[in-house]
Amino acid sequence: MRPREFALVALLATHPGVAMPRRQLIEHVWGADYDGDERTVDGHIARIRRQLAHYPEVTCRIESIYGYGYKFALA
């Protein structure tokens, strides 16, 4: 897992069940001075999901909150 992907998972996992907006995820992982597109988070989450799909024993998941962001869900 790439460092930013790991940082995203770690941030979401430390706040299970809490929906976090993309902007907040970017500020914590990329830094407050990041001026790129907020949708970059979506690409990173997609890669994380593909990686987690290789481990069926992992029952947690990252849920999309349409138009807002993501949350970490425990099974």
The CATH number of residue 7's host domain is 1.10.10.10
pLDDT > 80? residue 75: no
- Point out which residues pair with 62 in neighbouring strands: 72
List Cβ neighbours of 68 (8 Å cut-off, separation of 6 or more): 19, 21, 22
Domain hosting residue 7, numbered range:
3-73
Structural domain tally of the chain? 1
Token pair of 32, please? Answer: 């407050």
Average pLDDT along the chain: 95
pTM of the model: 0.91
Percent of the chain with pLDDT over 70: 100
Section 16-45 average pLDDT: 96
Q: How many whole angstroms separate alpha carbon 48 and alpha carbon 52? A: 6
Section 35-52 average pLDDT: 95
